[in-house]
Structure 1
Amino acid sequence: MFSYLFSPMKLRGLELKNRIIMPAMGTKFPKDNEVTEQLIQYHVDRAKGGSGLNMVEVTGVHQPSVPGIYPSLGEDRFIPGMKRLTDAIHEAGGKAGVQLWQGSIAVAAHQGIQVIVASDLELAPGYVVKGADKALIDELTTCYGKAAHRAVEAGYDCVEVHMAHNYILHSFLSPAINKRTDEYGGTFENRARFPLAVIESIRKNIPDDMPLFMRIDAQDDYLENGMTIEDVIAFCKLAKEAGVDVLDISRGNIISAGIKFEVPPIDLPRAFNIENAARIRRETGMVTMGVGRINDPELADRLLQEDKLDLVGIGRAQLADPEFCNKSKEGRLDDIVRCVGCNQGCYDACESHVIPHITCLRNPALGKENEYRISKTKKPKTVLIAGGGMAGMEAADVLYARGHHPVLCEASDRLGGQFLLAGEAPRKLEMKLAAMSKGEQITRRGVDVRLNAPVTPALIEELKPDVVINAIGALPIIPPIPGINLPHVKNSHEILGGKASVEGNVVVIGGGLVGLETAEYLSDKGCKVTVVEMLEGLGTDLGTTRKVCVMENLYMEGVTQMPNCKCLEITGDGVVVDNGGEKQTIPCDYVVAAVGVHSADFSAEEALCKEKGIPVYTIGDAEKPRRAIDATADAARIAREI
């Protein structure tokens, strides 16, 4: 199946079994720049899953400027660890590449790490980092070459030079960032001088039969006087002459709203960057890899069939399902656990200083590949699961795989819970489809699923389960605002669930994720929407990339935003607010409350279980309202403990 996607390809001396590349993605699995068992198993599972080539994440070439959470080839001492990684990937039937990188301002948040910039840059008031001098440029050029040589010694099949995303080489190349006036700045030829020297240094330090990839942005988004696609094409032609074989066409930067393109969230359409890649491929004549929310094998195969690409970067889809490639090749499309572009476990985790490493809402075993291997139970139990949302379904799936007998009871007529509601918001259909797919998967596997079946004390008496899992989720908070019970006041669940409709001028109370998505939903239906939020900012519970997209769309649709504004009272024809200390009335036809949720009541059921000695586990929003990723993580952990 998918004959284009699963056709072999030869790049110099490297033979790939298919056209799927797992692109380099930050994990935070390395420790003190060393390869860990966690990183090895992560790659091994994807190699066994059928990936044609695993590209190891941004790997430092210049040791003083490499934070400890990234792998490094900046010194010889890292070769043995890298060799263990490549050996493991090869043993699993895969091929291994490594992405050579110097992070420039991306490392600025890490204490004790050297920050290198193309030209003088004020990172904080009074703190200016001087642009790299000629000696440092020469040092970095040499470092790239030495790192490439170490990559060869470590057993890599290819290397990739990172020329995008504000990292040092992109910073020199882009006139939006490079403000130098010497031979490394100003004209296109000058700005290309250092990047081309790096390419030549790498090429001299790897065998003739080893392919060299180059990741580069298709253009500079949101950067005034940045690189155009024509500039990129011109540079790619020079890079080809210098020894680059394969173009990896990315997009985005970390200093503007263009960050949304770097790790594109669900808000961006699938394959949004492919026409750029196709044009660059056509005008350079180079082997080209395209990336950008390609999480569907049919789409990937079609892009190859239409002769737009030679290789397809499929990254987060392989995080969500390490068997993505094998399932696609075998035609088991209904069994694929699909990435939904939520970015909660991947990009948001990399950006966080609290979350230790990446994980995945759809795949809580990511980063715990060995620890979370499914092991059969020796004492099968009947486990009653109350609630068929994402947490309840995840628990049922794991329990069934382990040999238990889960009975999944959902009070409504369909599985999916709040993921179904989330999928009603603009641009989030994939979440709804994912919830529906998960329900179909567990039903097809044989899980005992019961709809229109709320868990009650009577049901517990009847089933006599060995264990009960409370996954009933949460209900909308009804804020104690005078007038909240007036007939023209609704809540976000009613709106997104299709149980209530509004029109005309609408005030949404609450500027968090649900409130903003409800505002967008209503705006799309022709309502004139005002969002009232008591905090100083809107969307504070949104990750960076999703927030950029949501806020841009609110602006484009003309939704009025009123942060630092407290709702005092709801009247028959308006909402009275305290707007920065000034009392005013916002006229409206309807009001929608979207101020959050509270855990649903399960106290009677818990009391009966306690009386009968039945263990009760509470997961997801039923324990404490949190993000969806926390709910599936709870479920995966508890289902392995039972």
Structure 2
Amino acid sequence: MFDKLFEPIQIRGMELRNRVVMSAMGTHESAESEDGKSVTDKLIAYHVARVKGGNGLNTIEVTSVDAPSAPFGFLSIAEDKYIAGFKKLNDAVHEAGGKTCIQLWQGGLAVASDQTAQILVPNDLPLSPQYTVPAITNERLLDIIDKFGQAAKRAVEAGFDCLEFHCAHNYLPHSMLSGGINHRSDEWGGSFENRKKFPLECIKSIRANMPIDMPLFMRVDCHDDMLDGGLTIEEVIEFCKDAKECGVDVLNISRGNILTAATLYEVAPVDIENGFNVEDAARIRKETGMLTMPCGRINTPEFAEKILEDDKADLVVMARAQLADANFCNKARAGKVNQIRYCIGCNQGCYDSFCASLYNPAIKHITCMRNPGLLEEDTLGLKPGSASKKVVILGGGIAGMEAALDLKETGNTPILFEKSESLGGQFLLAGAISAKKDFKNAVDKMILDVQESGIEVHLNTVVTKEMLEEIKPDALIVAIGSSPFVLPIEGSEKAIVAHDVLSEKVEVLGENVVIIGGGLVGFETAEFLAARQKKVTVLEMKEKALQDLGPLRQITAQFAMAQMPITIETSATVEKIDDHAVVASGKEYPYDSVIMAVGSKANDTSMYTDLGIPTYIVGDCKKAGIALDAFKDAYHAVLEINK
């Protein structure tokens, strides 16, 4: 199955067993090493798990080539002392049957998360009225070129099968290449010929320190978004042709820069279409004649296979897909696609957690909503317990279903009770808008998994103490979720709750709709109604709306709202709901329908806390929050039960 995807490919002296590439993804796991920049055993286990899962090429995350600009929490190969750690990683991956690539990186402005790291930028960059980062000097540019070569030499000694030069995402090589960023007037700036010089010299330096039969990859933006004077695809094609002459073999086609909202394309959330780089990659491939692989929300084997069948690429980047499921490739190759846990582009565990980890020491590394054991493969991997246990689960939302599936996988007997007529809970509402179809697909698939696994399910059932006494479970998992919160204000009975709108249990009358609450649910309700030709006003009491979304989803939400008949009023504290208007901060907002979207409150679980049964409270009934936490709660409850 998926013959193209799992066809071997020869690149110089390296043969890959298939066309699937796990591209570099920052994990922040190196922060747990002695100096905060080294390989750890957890990082090795993480890569080995994906090799054993069938992946073709593992790319090690962005790795600093220059010591003064190497930030904490990112890997470094800027000194000889790092060779041994990478050799240990490579030996483990090779023993498991895989191949490795290291992404050689100079982070430019992105290293600013570490105040001790030197920021290198093409031009003077004011960061505050008191401080301006000076432009990189000519001497330092030459030094960095040499550092790329030295890093390549160390990577070869460490046993990597190929190398990748990072020339995208606003890092120094991309910044020097782009006319939207590089405004120098010396030999390194101005004309495109001058701007190409630095990255091409870096490539030459790397290639000079590699064996002739070792492949060199390059990550490059297909064009610049939202940057005046930025790279066009025509310029990128010209540059890639020059890079080919300098020794680059494979192009890893990406997009994004951290200077503008285009940063959302680097780790694109669910709101961005699947495979958004594929057509540009196909054009670059055709016009350069180079081996090419697109990245960007390619999360199913069917889609990846079609890209290859349509002759639009030579390899396919499937990165977050393998965070969600380390065995993605093996399952796909065996045709067990229904067993794959698919990435849904929520960004909660990967990008959002990575950003938070830079400033919150309590967050050790990235995780994944669909795979709470990510980067804990050896320490917190799901394993059968010493004995099979009968476990009653109350609640058939995502937390309850996750617990049931994990219990079944580890040899237990889960019995799932849901008081409503169907499984899925509030997560079904998350897929109500078309842009989030991956959310709906995920919960639909979980429901199918529960059904096909043979798990005992009871719908329309409220479990009593007497029923539990009769069943005699070994453990109880309570996942009864949360309920919409209604503001205790005058006229609140005139409002309908957002959950009933998204589930289409109620009809929203009239053209003008006022939504109270500008968080995630309020936004999704606004988008849902705007798509149905309603004029929507969102009232948010805080100074900013959408604060419960991650940074990239905030960007896509703002874009969506700007293109729809949606008005957002912030610092608007709702006082009352009259017969025809919502009164907020002294101003009236007329309505035909008014909707309450001010969050949820955890359902009461006190009745289950003193039954003499080991009991685990998980998901929204523990604390109303994000789906990432619900999956994590359920996963850890199963780990405890299996002890």
TM-score normalized by the length of structure 2: 0.97
Q: How does 1:327-366 map to 2 (within 5 A)?
A: 327-352=331-356, 353-354=359-360, 355-366=363-374
Change (3 A) 1:397 1:404: same
**Aligned equivalent of 1:452:** 460
Residue 111 of structure 1, aligned match among 104, 110, 115: 115
Q: How does 1:457-468 map to 2 (within 5 A)?
A: 457-468=465-476
Deviation track 1:191-230 (CA, whole Å, cap 9, x = no partner) reads: 1111110000000000000010000001110111100111
Q: How does 1:385-464 map to 2 (within 5 A)?
A: 385-464=393-472
**Aligned equivalent of 2:637:** 638
Instruction: Return the letter of the residue paired with 1:26.
Output: G
- Return the offset for 1:443: 2.9
**Aligned equivalent of 2:614:** 615
- Return the offset for 1:483: 0.3
- Whether the 8 Å CA contact 2:608–2:615 is kept in 1: the answer is no
- Return the offset for 1:316: 0.4
- Whether the 8 Å CA contact 1:475–1:597 is kept in 2: the answer is yes
- Return the offset for 1:618: 0.6
Residue 592 of structure 1, aligned match among 590, 595, 604: 595
- Return the offset for 1:109: 2.1
Residue 213 of structure 1, aligned match among 208, 217, 220: 217
Aligned counterparts of 1:381 and 1:7: Cα–Cα separation in 2: 43
**Aligned equivalent of 1:29:** 29
Instruction: Return the letter of the residue paired with 2:273.
Output: P
Instruction: Return the letter of the residue paired with 2:217.
Output: F
Bigger shift: residues 114-123 or 207-216: 114-123
Aligned counterparts of 1:388 and 1:375: Cα–Cα separation in 2: 23
Aligned counterparts of 2:428 and 2:221: Cα–Cα separation in 1: 35
- Whether the 8 Å CA contact 1:349–1:356 is kept in 2: the answer is no
Instruction: Return the letter of the residue paired with 1:142.
Output: D
Q: What is the RMSD computed on CA atoms of the aligned residues?
A: 1.1
**Aligned equivalent of 1:601:** 604
Change (3 A) 1:426 1:536: farther
**Aligned equivalent of 2:250:** 246
- Whether the 8 Å CA contact 2:71–2:113 is kept in 1: the answer is no
**Aligned equivalent of 1:54:** 58
**Aligned equivalent of 1:294:** 298
- Correspondence 1:323 to 2:331: no
Instruction: Return the letter of the residue paired with 2:170.
Output: N
Aligned counterparts of 1:334 and 1:399: Cα–Cα separation in 2: 18
State the identity as a percent: 49
Aligned counterparts of 1:392 and 1:348: Cα–Cα separation in 2: 24
Aligned counterparts of 1:364 and 1:351: Cα–Cα separation in 2: 18
Aligned counterparts of 1:125 and 1:99: Cα–Cα separation in 2: 35
Q: In the comparison of the two structures, how many residue pairs are matched?
A: 632
**Aligned equivalent of 1:276:** 280
Aligned counterparts of 1:378 and 1:155: Cα–Cα separation in 2: 40
- Return the offset for 1:458: 3.6
- Secondary structure, in 3 states, of the residue corresponding to 1:148? helix
- Return the offset for 1:641: 0.6
- Whether the 8 Å CA contact 1:421–1:496 is kept in 2: the answer is yes
- Secondary structure, in 3 states, of the residue corresponding to 1:117? coil
- Correspondence 1:475 to 2:483: yes
Q: How does 1:229-244 map to 2 (within 5 A)?
A: 229-244=233-248
- Secondary structure, in 3 states, of the residue corresponding to 2:562? helix
Q: How does 1:479-494 map to 2 (within 5 A)?
A: 479-486=487-494, 489-494=495-500
Instruction: Return the letter of the residue paired with 1:449.
Output: V
Instruction: Return the letter of the residue paired with 1:491.
Output: V
- Return the offset for 1:341: 0.2
- Whether the 8 Å CA contact 1:61–1:101 is kept in 2: the answer is yes
- Correspondence 1:531 to 2:531: no
**Aligned equivalent of 2:149:** 145
- Return the offset for 1:400: 2.1
- Return the offset for 1:425: 2.7
- Secondary structure, in 3 states, of the residue corresponding to 1:485? helix
The unaligned stretches of length 5 or more in structure 1 are none
Deviation track 1:223-248 (CA, whole Å, cap 9, x = no partner) reads: 11100111111111111111111111
Deviation track 1:463-506 (CA, whole Å, cap 9, x = no partner) reads: 222221110110000111110112xx210110011111213100
**Aligned equivalent of 2:549:** 542
**Aligned equivalent of 1:85:** 89
Bigger shift: residues 220-229 or 450-459: 450-459
Deviation track 1:584-607 (CA, whole Å, cap 9, x = no partner) reads: 11111000000000011233343x
The unaligned stretches of length 5 or more in structure 2 are none
**Aligned equivalent of 2:391:** 383
- Return the offset for 1:379: 3.5
- Whether the 8 Å CA contact 1:426–1:517 is kept in 2: the answer is no
Instruction: Return the letter of the residue paired with 2:517.
Output: G
- Correspondence 1:166 to 2:170: yes
Aligned counterparts of 2:441 and 2:195: Cα–Cα separation in 1: 46
Runs of 4+ in 1 over 4 A off after TM superposition: none
Bigger shift: residues 404-413 or 73-82: 404-413
Instruction: Return the letter of the residue paired with 2:477.
Output: I
Instruction: Return the letter of the residue paired with 2:398.
Output: M
Aligned counterparts of 1:569 and 1:311: Cα–Cα separation in 2: 58
Deviation track 1:336-387 (CA, whole Å, cap 9, x = no partner) reads: 1000000000011111122221100001110110112333222433211111
Instruction: Return the letter of the residue paired with 2:253.
Output: I
Instruction: Return the letter of the residue paired with 1:520.
Output: E
- Whether the 8 Å CA contact 1:415–1:436 is kept in 2: the answer is no
- Return the offset for 1:93: 1.0
Residue 228 of structure 1, aligned match among 232, 241, 250: 232
Deviation track 1:531-556 (CA, whole Å, cap 9, x = no partner) reads: 00000000001111111111110011
- Secondary structure, in 3 states, of the residue corresponding to 1:248? strand
- Whether the 8 Å CA contact 1:5–1:300 is kept in 2: the answer is yes
Aligned counterparts of 1:291 and 1:391: Cα–Cα separation in 2: 30
Instruction: Return the letter of the residue paired with 1:533.
Output: E
Instruction: Return the letter of the residue paired with 1:15.
Output: E
- Return the offset for 1:263: 0.5
Aligned counterparts of 2:284 and 2:45: Cα–Cα separation in 1: 35
